[in-house]
Structure 1
Amino acid sequence: MREDSEEFSQVPLSSLVQKGRKITYGIVQPGQFVEDGVILVRGRDYSAGWRDLDGFKRVTPEIDAPYKRSKLRAGDLVITIVGANTGTVAVVPDWLEGANITQTTARVAIEPKKAEPGFVEQVLRSALGQREVYRYQKGGAQPGLNLADLEKFSIPLPPLPEQRKIAAILRTWDEALEKLNSLRTEKARWLDGLSQTTIGRGGIFPEHWQQKPLSKVCMPVKRKSSGGDHPVMTISAKSGFLMQADKFARDMAGRSVERYTLLHEGEFAYNKGNSKTAPYGCVFRLDRDTALVPFVYYCFALKPGLDPEFYDHLFSAGALNHQLSRLINSGVRNDGLLNLYSDDFFSCRVPVPPTEEQKRIAQALTEAKRELSLLDEEIAALTDQKRGLMQKLLTGEWRVEVSDDEEAAA
């Protein structure tokens, strides 16, 4: 590669489309799905990489017949034009030849003598392409693109041999990320299995474990701040303890911080806020010296002789959900909190296995989660590196060397 300040020329996406195959969307009313019919491609089928063939929905040939214009060929691009994943794009593989698309997906048939489909895919996936998506998409709760605006997308266009080289380079990075994500999926599945075999599933614990109400194994924490510089934190169902200013972009506590509960490291808090991730609330353990948390949280510390790490894994696995679902009164309050009294929460029963067994299980689950966390860090680092590489290659800041053979092949 060489550094080069010369920027690529920009062309509208419409200028790269095959003659006679305009950008189009597909079947408007899919109707009833059938087991053996024409494959119907939806955005969810390629949003995280192409799914297995058995995962596609299918429609009858009669429903498919009026939509011949949107039939897919290998090398076409599909791009989501409606919904939260608007702008997601993929190249159609050989094995989807003849499939069709829905009205929420557009087909873009790239003329191979003008552009390399894989190169255009990388452009549309990059910050450059997503900027075009944000520029043209309309709507709030249900954003979308119309085909006329999609045609206007500005695409940088180096010579065809260079497009192919760039696409090949970036595809190598994609393959590395796909392998890491596949490995992460397997690791996560293994962790889930390990969790089920060691601490149970759905609140059903090993039969030989004694069970006690939370009130018998912990002490409620209701201490207030006595001064000092304590971080004001909140609990996210996905991420655990977060700085309140980070989650809400500002400090929500105000003067009410005087009523907040002061937690010490290793103590727990139950956020009874309702969310899709945690419909019955969530419990997390504090992993820093101190924190001030909202007074509406139910906070507690385990009694001596119990392993906090074990119970951290137990709570994060949703071990209380089944009991909470029966204790929570219907509906959510105006403040977004579940209708659950403190006494009811602390009446939930938890297992109390022998201390050594607690420690052994905690160590195994912690190590498994650590491996998963390392994979997440590796995926994030590789994603950032690829993003930086895309910026330089797709803008012409870095130019790739093309051999005579590659020039001739074009």
Structure 2
Amino acid sequence: MFARPNPKAVLPEYLAEYTNSAVGKQHVVGNKGGLALQHFNVGAYKEMLVLLPPLPQQRKIVELLRTWDGAIEKLEALRAAKLRRHRALTHSLVFGTRQLDRFRTTDEVAAHRWFTLPATWGIKPIGKLAREISERNGDAEQHEVLSCSKYDGFVRSLEYFKKQVFSADLSGYKRIWRGDFGFPSNHIEEGSIGLQNLTDVGVVSPIYTVFRFAPEKVDADYAFAVLKTGLYRHIFEVSTSASVDRRGSLRWSEFSKLPFPLPSLAEQRAIAEVLGTAQTDLDALNTEIEALTRQKRGLMQKLLTGEWRVSP
């Protein structure tokens, strides 16, 4: 859809800001609740009511909002750079290509099918380090429903999807305790695997595979870092394609055969601590971006409704 604004009445930049604002969407005729921009049609756009201050004030409003956009864009670029560094750091630490000094005793390495590890590290199938958990919820107390996202791991389903996407009957769902891992068997090749650290006990769909690492062998935070790497996403994809299930699923019987890098438990915990510190830095940056975004929305509301006047 293309529209050419009347330059004597409205600046294109002001109209763009107004159209993308909650104020603009609330003024679409017949839709007081607002429309997503991608759902605008020509008729609705033509009928949209626009609050128009004089051109000099429009220009000043655009200038103010652009200042906030610039600050947000700089933080987002910083976040993207830090995220790339965090992924590179994770890969180098969990596979030992960059071993922490106090644990490095030799430069010798051992090559395996998927990765090369320090010679002092072990490697075992996941099934030798973890066991599957199949605890049905039954008719007991109703627990919070969780889902697994490809980037963040476990999320609260209602908060994430903004609506109920799960069954009203949770008796057939699986319990997943704090510290357990889980993945939807038909989406793990996308990287959807997580460590449940949101609640003491939650429930997940019956299609999930739930498992628990032996704490005397594997640190859960280290394991989560390993399983969320791009390399393991590739391993999941290849293993799903080769699965005897042949329905785009990876069941525990095949998943448990996948290799897992195994430094000492002390080194696992040290790696997890380093990565946790880096993640805290990323989380703080995310919080700052979210705060600025909310502040910009509030500023738009004030400026575009005329509640706050600006001097050109």
**Aligned-CA RMSD value:** 3.2
Quick one: distance in 1 between partners of 2:28 and 2:152?
29
- Residue 348 (str. 1) matches residue 258 (str. 2): yes
Does the 8 Å CA contact 2:51/2:305 hold for their aligned counterparts? yes
**Relative to structure 2, which stretch is displaced further, 304-313 or 236-245?**
236-245
Aligned to 2:268: 358
Does the 8 Å CA contact 2:29/2:44 hold for their aligned counterparts? no
> Counterpart of 1:178 in structure 2: which amino acid?
E
Which structure would you say has the larger Rg?
A: 1
- Residue 325 (str. 1) matches residue 237 (str. 2): yes
Q: Which runs of 5+ in 1 are unaligned?
A: 1-80, 82-105, 137-141
Aligned to 2:305: 395
> Counterpart of 1:377 in structure 2: which amino acid?
T
Quick one: distance in 1 between partners of 2:289 and 2:60?
24
The alpha carbon displacement at 1:184 in A equals 1.0
Aligned to 2:179: 266
- Residue 174 (str. 1) matches residue 65 (str. 2): no
Quick one: distance in 1 between partners of 2:307 and 2:154?
41
Aligned to 1:282: 192
Once the two structures are superposed, the pairs formed by residues 105-254 of structure 1 within 5 Å of their partners are 106=2, 108=4, 111=7, 113-131=8-26, 145-146=41-42, 150=45, 152-200=47-95, 204-208=115-119, 209-225=121-137, 227-246=140-159, 247=161, 249-250=163-164, 252-254=166-168
More helix by share: 2
Aligned to 1:368: 278
Does the 8 Å CA contact 1:244/1:250 hold for their aligned counterparts? yes
> Counterpart of 2:130 in structure 1: which amino acid?
C
Does the 8 Å CA contact 2:150/2:190 hold for their aligned counterparts? no
Quick one: distance in 2 between partners of 1:174 and 1:223?
48
Quick one: distance in 2 between partners of 1:160 and 1:291?
55
TM-score (norm 1): 0.60
Distance 1:306 1:174, change over 3 A: same
Quick one: distance in 1 between partners of 2:62 and 2:25?
17
Aligned to 2:202: 291
Once the two structures are superposed, the pairs formed by residues 62-73 of structure 1 within 5 Å of their partners are none
TM-score (norm 2): 0.77
The alpha carbon displacement at 1:143 in A equals 5.5
Aligned to 1:66: none
Aligned length: 283
Per-residue Cα deviation, 1:348-405 (whole angstroms, up to 9, x for no partner): 11111122221222112122222112111111111111111111211112212x2xxx
Quick one: distance in 1 between partners of 2:165 and 2:309?
46
The alpha carbon displacement at 1:268 in A equals 0.7
Distance 1:366 1:205, change over 3 A: farther
Q: Which has the higher contact order (CA 8 A, sep 6+)?
A: 2
Does the 8 Å CA contact 1:127/1:391 hold for their aligned counterparts? yes
Does the 8 Å CA contact 2:29/2:47 hold for their aligned counterparts? no
